[in-house]
Structure 1
């Protein structure tokens, strides 16, 4: 019985030793082998490997492209204008030995050192360019120059390859933004006043033209109406004259009847006239005096 127990214990210990002696490095990882805390093997290839338990230790690192989001910083352009810049960097481990010695395998430490270099690089690049070049014209070239400059340092000092550096956002500082916003507002208000003044000027021109056209139309209409009225009066006079010449006595009789009708139309009218006067000519004699 004791022999079986001892055998089982030995078997378990053997399994533990074997399990602690085998390790696997994935394709997405880089690893170093430490022996009593000292670097023994600086670059272990992906695959199955063995180590001495309790003596050797394996440190693994992510070999994929990592993203570092740099904090927002204020930089000055060539014209000494302050800009708030928000950037990020893509990086990966290139030399495991240098990376471990420089950062002790601490990813946060690596990003801290990288952030200092990015900050310094952006500051230098912005100081060499104007605001227009930074915002539009030379931003791509700025990123290329910054990436190349960072790699000159990070490859040899940190064992890191900077794949790319990009600026996410460029803003004016809050105090400058307020003044720019106020200036833009005043400019827009000035433009609005100019547009309104031009609109009022055009409205006055249109109104004056409309008034002129109205006056011309009314004058022409009055002229035409007077012309037509004159022609009507002339035709009426000609008709009256023609009718009068055909039968003057009948025409006088008709005019007298119209005068009688208008004179005696009101019941309360009182008229004092000599019965022998010309007014009662046809009342006294239907033939008008005698023929």
Structure 2
């Protein structure tokens, strides 16, 4: 290979190398800044294909989408000096690329760390002026709204990011306190359950006693009515018998004697000792009864 061809190939490779260093692309999801010897000369490069001066200009790209910083759970003290473990997260996006680059050197992880630190400081201040009840349920939404309002201007000025939202994921008591609270709550629930059982048993006994009393009253009334009906029936039967027997007293006497004979001589070994002229044999001697 001749020296001329070698020089041509070297120049061609150099052009390709310089050209690759002169062209860059900014995506729709990215934000970029153009630097000249480390100084920002274009803080907001629009998406698309761009050119730069190799070895003079440098381009730093940042994610332009909404990012999430998940803070580690931290202990905070309430107004009553009670400890709470608060777990939170925040949504943010890069708004001022120049400020973001100078504050974090363009490092996303560093920006998240600084933002998480400021969120924890804000949470500490917000929790310190509220009671446990207010933090857990009463003013939880207000707490997050106040925290976001306090931090928006600060993080935009210091870090060059827009704070979209701040949310508290979870609020817990410390381990030793939560165990104590759980035991107390368990004891209270058991006490309440015993009270409900006692009230239920008392109510059941009252219902059972009322039912037994009602059964006794109903049975007594039924027995009274039955005896009255039975007495009225017996009286009516006696009246009917009396009227029937009064129509022919001799026939009534005759049927009574026959019934007495039947009941007296039911068994084969029955023995009856009476006088032969006894009234018992009145109709055996004479069917007319002595008339």
**TM-score normalised per structure 2:** 0.88
Give the secondary structure class of the aligned counterpart of 1:120: helix
Equivalent residues in 2 for 1:204-223 (5 A)?
204-223=205-224
| Separation in structure 2 between the aligned mates of residue 193 and residue 250 of structure 1, nearest angstrom | 79
Question: 2:151 aligned with 1:155, yes or no?
Answer: no
Question: 2:43 aligned with 1:43, yes or no?
Answer: yes
The answer as to whether partners of 1:32 and 1:97 remain within 8 angstroms in 2 is no
How far is 1:48 from its partner?
4.2
Partner of 2:89: 88
Q: Structure 1: which 5+ residue stretches go unaligned?
A: none
The answer as to whether partners of 1:25 and 1:31 remain within 8 angstroms in 2 is no
Q: Structure 2: which 5+ residue stretches go unaligned?
A: none
| Separation in structure 1 between the aligned mates of residue 75 and residue 58 of structure 2, nearest angstrom | 43
Partner of 2:77: 76
| Separation in structure 1 between the aligned mates of residue 255 and residue 94 of structure 2, nearest angstrom | 129
Work out the number of aligned pairs and report it.
288
How far is 1:256 from its partner?
1.0
Change (3 A) 1:234 1:21: closer
**TM-score normalised per structure 1:** 0.88
| Separation in structure 2 between the aligned mates of residue 97 and residue 128 of structure 1, nearest angstrom | 36
Partner of 2:131: 130
**CA-to-aligned-CA distance 1:195-234 (integer Å, 9 cap, x gap):** 2222222222222222222222222222222222222222
How far is 1:44 from its partner?
4.7
**CA-to-aligned-CA distance 1:33-81 (integer Å, 9 cap, x gap):** 142xx32536252254443333443322223321111111121222223
Change (3 A) 1:284 1:135: same
Change (3 A) 1:2 1:148: same
The answer as to whether partners of 2:31 and 2:97 remain within 8 angstroms in 1 is no
Equivalent residues in 2 for 1:96-135 (5 A)?
96-135=97-136
Partner of 1:167: 168
Change (3 A) 1:155 1:246: closer
Change (3 A) 1:225 1:49: closer
The answer as to whether partners of 2:40 and 2:98 remain within 8 angstroms in 1 is no
The answer as to whether partners of 1:154 and 1:162 remain within 8 angstroms in 2 is yes
Name the stretch that deviates more: 279-288 or 176-185.
176-185
| Separation in structure 2 between the aligned mates of residue 159 and residue 239 of structure 1, nearest angstrom | 119
The answer as to whether partners of 1:91 and 1:162 remain within 8 angstroms in 2 is yes
Change (3 A) 1:24 1:226: closer
**CA-to-aligned-CA distance 1:73-102 (integer Å, 9 cap, x gap):** 121222223222111112222333332232
Change (3 A) 1:272 1:39: same
| Separation in structure 1 between the aligned mates of residue 218 and residue 40 of structure 2, nearest angstrom | 108
How far is 1:283 from its partner?
1.5
The answer as to whether partners of 1:43 and 1:97 remain within 8 angstroms in 2 is yes
Partner of 1:227: 228
Question: 2:277 aligned with 1:256, yes or no?
Answer: no
